[in-house]
Amino acid sequence: MPNYGIPPIALTVGSGCEVYDADGRQYLDLIAGIAVSSLGHGHPALVNAVVRQATTLAHTSNLFVHEREIQLAERLIGLLGGDAKVFFANSGTEANEAALKLVKRAASPGRHYFVAADKGFHGRSLGALALTGKDVIREPFGPYGMDVRFVPHGDLEALTEAVDEHCVAVFVEPTQGEAGVVPAPEGYLAGVRALCDRTGAAFVLDEIQSGIGRTGHWFAHQAEEVRPDVLTLAKGLGGGLPIGACVGFGRFADAFDKGDHGSTFGGNPVACAAALAVIDTIEDQDLLEHVRAMGGVLAEHLERIDHPLLAGQRGSGLWRALELTGPHAAHVQEQAAVRGFLVNAVAPDAVRIAPPLVITPEELAVFIEALPTILDAAEAAATKEPQP
């Protein structure tokens, strides 16, 4: 179907942080399948875990329990701390759908509306899309069967005005990934937590893109010492295998009754084995510290580049955006690929960089050295465009 257009590159194989296309061209992967391939491509720990599990038990459905999903739930709860339970799904959208049903199930009578952020992104299915504040993808599929009120991302005053004792839940991201890696102001999550405590609304935190080490912490909210009522995860959790998770804390751990929700493939043994390998490898190789160090190197060098197309950079850890001075992101993405680098034009004026967490200083240095030339070429391409 034409919803993806015609992708310009056909990838065939990957190794570490490098991928190759069908013509044999090599690229440095600086987007990692949209912050998914945490360990890069072909990592032995991930390969071995998947092969071993696939040859043992590949699927059970939700009619039976298996060892890997119990181990993974225990690991996640151990990393998060506190009284929690986990529901496993197959994607970020499904994790947010589970969260949406969970908070509705837990809500007291009289609570009937939700609050989410402008330009936020929570998924493409109708429930998650109802919470997504991007008009271009949301409006064609309305109306929606729920009342969602949108406020500016990071604006605690606007959020406070929008949330009262009739609000079911507040859905936010610590940093808006699909809006262009836009962090919330410092202290915002603590403010959301205090507001939800005061009004009784549930605090749902979407860490689908920021979780599992992407920012240099296991979970971005841990940097602010804040805990939500419900946490959603996916992307980097499986390192390339499809898995999502909805974590409920406290009373939200047991809000579902038997039969309230389910997934045939959720908690699949192979996907859970992959996620365990990702967590083990991040822990064993101290990749959180590595992410913080590499993120600092990347930010420092980006700030030093003086170019008319580059306004700055933002983000944390290995989750960054090049801030451009105009709507030139598509040209930057195209010219980067010509020179062997995969980046993502996430917004007209922002280019997302989210490489595998295992990227080396030498690999980052190659990209940083090439970036001024990429920007020059993008500027030249922009000047050749016909003017409206």
CA–CA gap between residue 294 and residue 318 (Å, rounded): 7
What is the pLDDT, as a whole number, of residue 383? 86
Q: How confident is the model at residue 386 (pLDDT cuts 50, 70, 90)?
A: low
- Specify the CATH number for 45-284; select among 3.40.190.120, 3.40.640.10, 3.30.1360.120, 3.30.499.10: 3.40.640.10
Angle between helices 67-80 and 269-284 (to 10 degrees): 40
Q: For residue range 81-123, what is the model confidence (pLDDT) as tens digits?
A: 989 999 999 999 999 999 999 999 999 999 999 999 999 999 9
Q: Which CATH class is domain 2-30+286-383?
A: alpha beta
Residues with a known catalytic role: 121, 206, 235
18, 341 contact by CB (below 8 A): no
- Helix, strand or coil for residue 209? coil
- Please return the burial class of 240, using the count of CB atoms within 10 Å of its CB with bins 0-12, 13-18 and 19+: buried
- Give phi and psi for 48, each to the nearest 5: -65, -40
Query: CA angle 141-144-147, nearest 5°?
Result: 140
What is the pLDDT, as a whole number, of residue 388? 54
Domain with CATH 3.90.1150.10 in the chain: 2-30+286-383
Q: For residue range 30-64, what is the model confidence (pLDDT) as tens digits?
A: 999 999 999 999 999 999 999 999 999 999 999 99
Residue 276 reports pLDDT greater than 90:
yes
Q: What is the pLDDT of the chain when averaged over all its residues?
A: 96
CA–CA gap between residue 208 and residue 212 (Å, rounded): 9
What is the pLDDT, as a whole number, of residue 82? 83
Domain with CATH 3.40.640.10 in the chain: 45-284
CA–CA gap between residue 164 and residue 36 (Å, rounded): 36
> What is the share, in percent, of the chain residues with pLDDT greater than 70?
99
CA 321 to centroid of chain Cα atoms = 14
* In the block, residue with structure tokens 């860490």: 207
